A and B are shown apart, each in its own frame.
Chain A
């Protein structure tokens, strides 16, 4: 396990270097962040002076080296728009996104498992057909459209749910700004979570269904039936557990896509998380914040993938044997 961990850490460092280099190269060629900070009247010479002050006129290698040096000290640069260190801005926005992702993940887990299992066990029933039909619609509808439709139905027409923002939040542990502990906050969470889960949920239902159907055909399930076990035990313990492996793998990979959808969802709901922050930093050419976000997401990815590998090892011990080689 130690060798495995060291290897993973080394891999992670290389990945982070690559991500930071690409991010920084984008930043360098992205456009002038000063334009968004000054009025139309400020002359080219004055803008160049401001760029000088911010070190933006230095050649690429010097800027990148400076970035790496600061990054090693935990400083990912200064957000021009927020006038604060970029890490501080990201950490402040992270709870919003994490809570949204958490709630969406909950919806996916809670709904996809029973629905997937059911439609695998009873593939010909009317309900299964309905679930499968619905999931096709769900997969093919863009998150953007789903979100707007939800707002239109539940906010504009029915006045049930608030249309934008996070509502009332409470500061927990001194830094975690949570919307999960207030009624208003939870009401604000419902539609964005549904929108965010709308692409992934049908995907997982279909995945669980097809994996489960395959497992149900396997020898050991037939053997379990022959032993005279109760159907519930065969389905949930013998069959379902073995469908989980591919589901976890895909789930880990899908996390990246989730981040992309978070950006869309947050934009539509004016959800003040990292996703909308990123899009706005692109629009404002707040390039430092942009790079910091890319690096931050890189770290999250590396961490999650490592975590997925470890969970995988727990669920299926043969993987660990392979890792030890």
Chain B
């Protein structure tokens, strides 16, 4: 009895399976025919202009104040729109602020665009700017950036003053972070009885799941980590702009898959492009590749307190001379980085043209002989292995280059989840760090990476080299309250020069940025060095 049931069941399921496989095959073929038919029918009925976009990650929340990260800023530019933003040459261009003027040392007045609507239908006014600034000052991630501000003072419905505690040279830089949020929409309590304007990182909040900005796109559906659909906002103030009506954003984490999705036509636009696929995409017809030198500096910090040898400026200089920046860029980064002799990339106020990478092994050896360590010494080193592009390989190259001048380094690499605790604890003599200035200004590099460590003020928080020079501190602080751009730039450039002369750290390179898309769109025009593509301006022909 049992045996026969089993047999019957087996036969039945075998039959069912065979049918299923046959069906699968049929379905596959059927789909193909349909696709071809659709392609043929396309010219007759012009459909909605949709951009299928693949990035390595998607925004972590719909609340632009919940986290300060590249992904969130990319999102904010699509959905919220800032007071001002950068153009390709890093000039400030008007967005929701039509013009601005300095009233006095502490006050900058912004004249706001009239007739702007939020996604909720509410009108945009100066009240919303004041609300947004207050909220920024409450956000864990943004309050540091907005610490110099007293707040926003509403003059009239379309005029607002940003007031700082001290004279501050970066008011406009900070205004690029002011993405006005809809005060009416975010005020009150939601149906769970919670305040709508709460900023919560790890749990539900109204703002994490609902948005109302003034930006070109409205979020119409979102499944975190899977798919987000943005639809063109019908009442967007700027009619003279891109023609994309819908953006479907899929995060594709795997590099090879992201490239394949573009090559197969499943997506129209990918960012970033994995370095190993650059040549392929460049040589594929119908695709266009845009690359640009980025602004994230990668450096090695030499801990002078842990290893006395690094307190000797000649040793540090010798190491700077022994490191072949260009060689690493070409051989390890496949040319996809820009060799650096300083922290500030081109375009930043502190950038000094003359501070180029210096590779001269003979000079390095001579410096070592002159130093207090003619026979070399030993050092420990840590680096992440999944944080920066090729971080592990670069570290290995560094170790072998230093061995040529007698410095024996024992290297340990680890995933970033473990790395940062070790970095903070300054667990090794040499530590790697990459840094992007979130003010798009040189001062930020020095405040975090090269000012003397000070637990109270927070300066030098990521200066694990314990490099300390009173002049650097003085100039960096002076630049903070300097509102004359020329004078500021002179101060900042002097800091770069001092660090260069003393080899306060070893600069490696700036990572390049990359975007690839189908060639029927103006990709080149919408991307920039901050890596916030202005998708609102994208035109698909």
Q: Which residues of B contact A162 (CB under 8 A)?
A: 264, 266
| A39 partner, pick from B69, B256, B260, B462, beta carbons under 8 A | B69
Taking CB atoms, residues of chain B closer than 8 Å to A293 are: none
- Whether A160 contacts B421 in the complex (CB less than 8 A), given A39-B67, A41-B141, comes out as no
* Chain B positions 60 through 71: 1 when the CB is less than 8 Å from some CB of chain A, otherwise 0: 110000011100
Q: Which one, B32, B208, B224, B386, contacts A283 given CB within 8 A?
A: B386
A13: Cβ under 8 A from any B Cβ: no
Answer yes or no: A7 CB below 8 A from chain B CBs: no
Residues of B within 8 A of A277 (CB): 225
Task: Mark interface residues in B177-198 (1 if CB within 8 Å of A CB, else 0).
Answer: 0000000000000000000000
Cβ-defined contact, A32 with B224, below 8 A: no
Q: B257, A268: Cβ atoms under 8 Å?
A: yes
CA distance A165 to B227 in the complex (A): 10
Counting contact residues on chain A (CB < 8 A from B), the size range is 35 or more
- How far is A39 from B32 in the complex, measured between Cα atoms in Å? 46
Answer yes or no: B420 CB below 8 A from chain A CBs: yes
Chain B residues with CB under 8 A of A267: 253-254
In the complex with contacts A50-B201, A163-B266, A280-B253, A40-B260 CB distance below 8 A: no
The answer to the question of B226 belonging to the interface, with a C-beta cut-off of 8 Å to chain A, is yes
B27 x A164 contact (CB < 8 A): no
Out of B6, B7, B227, B438, name the residue touching A41 (CB < 8 Å).
B438
How far, in angstroms, from A83 to B208 measured CA to CA in the complex? 9
Write the chain A residue with the least CB distance to B204. Answer: A83
Q: Which residues of A contact B421 (CB under 8 A)?
A: 31-32
Stretch at the interface among B17-25, B322-330, B526-534: B17-25
Residue of A nearest to B419 (CB): A31
Most buried by B among A30, A42, A78, A162: A42
Highest count of chain A CB atoms <10 Å: which of B3, B144, B438: B144
**What residues of A have a CB within 8 angstroms of the CB of B263 in the complex?**
155-156
Q: Does B31 contact A (CB under 8 A)?
A: yes
B28 near A190: Cβ-Cβ < 8 Å:
yes
B254 CB contact (under 8 Å) in A81, A166, A270: A270
A84 proximity list for chain B (CB < 8 A): 204
What is the 8 Å Cβ interface bit string for chain A, positions 76-88, against chain B (1 contact, 0 not)?
0010111110000
Known: A237-B7, A270-B253, A280-B253. A39 touches B386 (CB 8 A): no
* 46-103 of chain A: CB within 8 A of chain B: 46, 50, 54, 78, 80-84
Q: Which residues of B contact A109 (CB under 8 A)?
A: 17
The A/B interface has a contact count, at CB < 8 Å, of 158
Using A83-B208, A187-B28 as known contacts, say yes or no to A42 and B140 having CB atoms under 8 A apart: yes
Return chain A residues, CB-CB under 8 Å to B436: 40
- Chain A contacts of B485 at CB under 8 A? none
Contacts A31-B417, A38-B141, A270-B252 given; indicate if A163 touches B202 (C-beta within 8 A): no
CA distance A82 to B14 in the complex (A): 41
- Pairwise interchain contact A113-B14, C-beta atoms closer than 8 A: yes
Interface residues in B1-15 (C-beta closer than 8 Å to A)? 2-3, 6-7, 14
CB pair B424 A44 closer than 8 Å: yes
Closest chain A CB from B38 CB (angstroms): 12
Please tell me if the beta carbons of A272 and B28 are within 8 angstroms of each other in the complex: no
- Chain A, residues 33-45, CB within 8 Å of chain B (1/0): the string is 0011111111110
Whether a CB of chain A sits under 8 angstroms from the CB of B203 is yes
Q: How far is the CA of A95 from the CA of B328 in the complex (A)?
A: 46
A186 located at the interface, meaning its Cβ lies under 8 Å from any Cβ of chain B in the complex: yes
Any chain A CB within 8 A of the CB of B200?
yes
B201 and A80 contact, CB distance less than 8 A? yes
Q: Which residue of A lies closest to B20 (CB)?
A: A106
The answer to whether B141 touches A183 (Cβ under 8 A) is: no
Assembled-state Cα–Cα distance A9/B20 (Å): 36
B47 CB within 8 Å of chain A: no
Residue of A nearest to B422 (CB): A31
Question: A206: shortest Cβ distance to chain B, in Å?
Answer: 20
Whether B202 pairs with A42 at a CB distance below 8 angstroms is: no
For the complex, is A128 an interface residue (Cβ under 8 Å from B)?
A: no
For residue B46, CB closer than 8 A to chain A, the reply is no
Question: Of B203, B260, B435, which contacts A83 at CB under 8 A?
Answer: B203
Tell whether B374 is near chain A: CB-to-CB under 8 Å.
Answer: no
Known: A78-B202, A187-B31, A190-B24. A315 touches B6 (CB 8 A): yes
Q: Does B49 contact A (CB under 8 A)?
A: no
CB distance from A40 to the nearest CB of B (A): 7
* Across-interface contacts of A50 in B (CB, < 8 A): 140, 201
Of the candidates A184, A186, A272, which one forms a contact with B226 in the assembled complex, judged by CB atoms under 8 Å apart? A272
A119 at the interface (CB under 8 A from B): no
Most buried by B among A43, A152, A164: A164
CB distance from B281 to the nearest CB of A (A): 12
Q: Classify the secondary structure of A's interface with B.
A: helix
Contact with A along B259-285 (1 / 0, CB 8 A): 011011110000000000000000000
A42 touches B250 (CB 8 A): no
Tell me, in angstroms, the Cα distance from A32 to B415 when the chains sit together: 12
Is residue A110 contacting chain B, with contact meaning CB distance below 8 A?
yes
- Also in contact, A40 and B250, with CB within 8 A (given A83-B202, A183-B27, A272-B226): no
Residues of chain B contacted by A314 (CB below 8 angstroms): 2
Give 1 or 0 for each of A217-228: 1 = CB within 8 Å of chain B CB: 000000000000
Whether A155 lies near B264 (C-beta < 8 A) is yes
Given A42-B140, A78-B203, the answer on whether A269 and B257 have CB atoms closer than 8 Å is yes
Asked whether any CB of chain B lies closer than 8 Å to the CB of A285, the reply is yes
Is A151 interfacial (CB 8 A cutoff)?
yes
B31: chain A residues at CB < 8 Å are 183-184, 187
Contact B254 A159 (CB under 8 A): no
A37 contacts B202, C-beta separation under 8 Å:
yes
Complexed CA–CA distance, A43 and B458 (Å): 7
Q: Indicate if the CB atoms of A187 and B201 lie closer than 8 Å.
A: no
Cβ of B30 under 8 Å from chain A: yes
Give residues of chain A (252-276) contacting chain B, Cβ–Cβ below 8 Å: 267-270, 272, 276
Contact of B68 with A41 in the complex, beta carbons under 8 Å: yes
Given contacts A46-B140, A183-B31, contact A268 B256 (CB under 8 A): yes
Nearest to B17 among chain A residues (CB) is A110
Contacts of B3 in A (CB 8 A): 241
Contact between B27 and A38 (Cβ–Cβ < 8 Å)? no
Given A41-B145, A148-B256, answer yes or no on A187-B27 (Cβ-Cβ < 8 Å).
yes
- Inter-chain contact B260/A82, CB cutoff 8 Å: no
Chain B residues in 8 Å Cβ range of A113: 14
Which residues of A lie under 8 Å from residue B67 when comparing CB positions?
37-39
Q: Does B99 contact A (CB under 8 A)?
A: no
**With a CB–CB cut-off of 8 A, which chain B residues contact A268?**
254, 256-257
B461 on the A face (CB < 8 A): yes
Residues on A with beta carbons closer than 8 Å to the beta carbon of B458: 43
User: Within 8 Å of chain A (Cβ to Cβ): is B91?
Assistant: no
B27 engages A160 (CB within 8 Å): no
- Give the docked Cα–Cα distance between A232 and B459 (Å): 82
- Contacts of A110 on B, CB cut-off 8 Å? 14, 17-18, 20-21
CB-defined interface of A273-308 with B at 8 Å, one 1/0 digit per residue? 000110010110100000000000000000000000
Task: Pick the most buried of B208, B256, B264: most chain A CB atoms within 10 A of its CB.
Answer: B264
> Per-residue 0/1 for A12-35: is the Cβ within 8 Å of any B Cβ (1 yes, 0 no)?
000000000000000000111001
Closest 9 CB pairs of A and B: A39-B68, A31-B417, A155-B264, A285-B417, A80-B202, A39-B141, A156-B263, A110-B17, A41-B144
8 pairs of residues in contact across A and B, judged by CB atoms under 8 Å: A31-B417, A31-B421, A38-B141, A148-B260, A155-B261, A186-B27, A270-B254, A283-B417
Known: A37-B202, A38-B140, A110-B20. 17 other contacts (CB 8 A): A30-B418, A32-B420, A32-B421, A38-B68, A38-B201, A40-B462, A41-B144, A42-B140, A43-B458, A78-B202, A82-B225, A148-B256, A155-B264, A163-B261, A165-B227, A186-B27, A267-B254
